[in-house]
Amino acid sequence: MGKVLVFGHKNPDTDSITSSLVIANLERKLGNNDVEACRLGNVNKETEYVLNYLKLEAPTLINDVEDGTEVILVDHNSPEETVSNINNAKILKIVDHHRLCGLVTDTPLYFRAEPVGCTGTIMYKLYKENGIEIDKKIATLMVSAIISDTLLFKSPTCTELDKKVGIELSRIAEIDLEKYGMEMLKAGTDLSSFSIDEILNLDAKETLLKSVKTVINQVNTASIPEVMKMKDDLERGMNKIINEKGLDLFVLLITDIVNSNSQVIALGKNADLVEKSYGVKLEDNTALLKGVVSRKKQVIPIMTENA
């Protein structure tokens, strides 16, 4: 029997990367030594900040798994967001905080999902339930995921439990939540090394809003004007993707993590869906969505309702 591979979703964010490391460590503590933390894509700048802070290597990059491989999924349960041959793998466990996405397995498995803001919060509970001590490094990984997914507790996806666990973990991690958190989030807003195409794919999710074929991409920033300098180039790239994928709508959310607003750029024949959903007028394809920071809670459901 080969190694058990652990991984989060494609286009991995901080929760996907850290939760892979955190559950691989838990498995080892529970006696399963042949476990390897992996990832299905590049480490982003925010996650890089966390790994550098802890002097940790990134998990192993994989694109696929061999048929029959035993796997543990974290931070996702969607067939679209995992390895393409997931049906030929044996899923041992899933730990996640997303809606159910239609996965089918041949055999019973361990599935732990909770409606909280971050997989890191569930990981904390798993350590507690199994009586495994959370050391400084593991605590830092967990709290970084919570900071990332909840934008330092400011996102509407953040639950009371995420906040309580985040504060408790910050003590074990010996970090100043505000200082470490803002530095980490700001590290993630550095777009300097990315091409326009890369920016447009950083956190892009393809989704059907009823029958409207849509891509929603979200980019965090500490300064909306800084990103808007690239507006013409971004729009050219978005139109290219609209044509290639036959999209009805491309929504780019440029989210100000300091003031908790998003500037939206919307292109495609259904761009008016943004106007209808938020009572705004797109001027030159763009508008400010005040207080909107969560694609999951404040964008997808509202735009689906109006589609």
Residue ranges binding a second copy (CB under 8 A):
97-116, 129, 301
DSSP symbol at 43: P
CB of 92 to a second copy, least distance (A): 8
Q: Which residues pair with 256 in a beta bridge?
A: 221, 261
In the bound state with a second copy, the residue whose beta carbon lies nearer, of 204 and 301, is: 301
In the bound state with a second copy, the residue whose beta carbon lies nearer, of 19 and 170, is: 19
In this structure, the number of other CB atoms found within 10 A of the CB of residue 291 comes to: 12
In the bound state with a second copy, the residue whose beta carbon lies nearer, of 114 and 233, is: 114
In the bound state with a second copy, the residue whose beta carbon lies nearer, of 114 and 168, is: 114
CB of 273 to a second copy, least distance (A): 18
CB of 101 to a second copy, least distance (A): 6
> 87 with 107: CB under 8 angstroms?
no
CB of 199 to a second copy, least distance (A): 28
Cβ contacts of 187-190, under 8 Å, gap ≥ 24: 187/45, 187/46, 187/48, 187/49, 188/14, 188/44, 188/45, 188/46, 188/47, 188/49, 188/148, 188/220, 189/45, 189/219, 189/220, 189/221, 189/222, 189/257, 190/45
CB of 159 to a second copy, least distance (A): 10
In the bound state with a second copy, the residue whose beta carbon lies nearer, of 212 and 267, is: 212
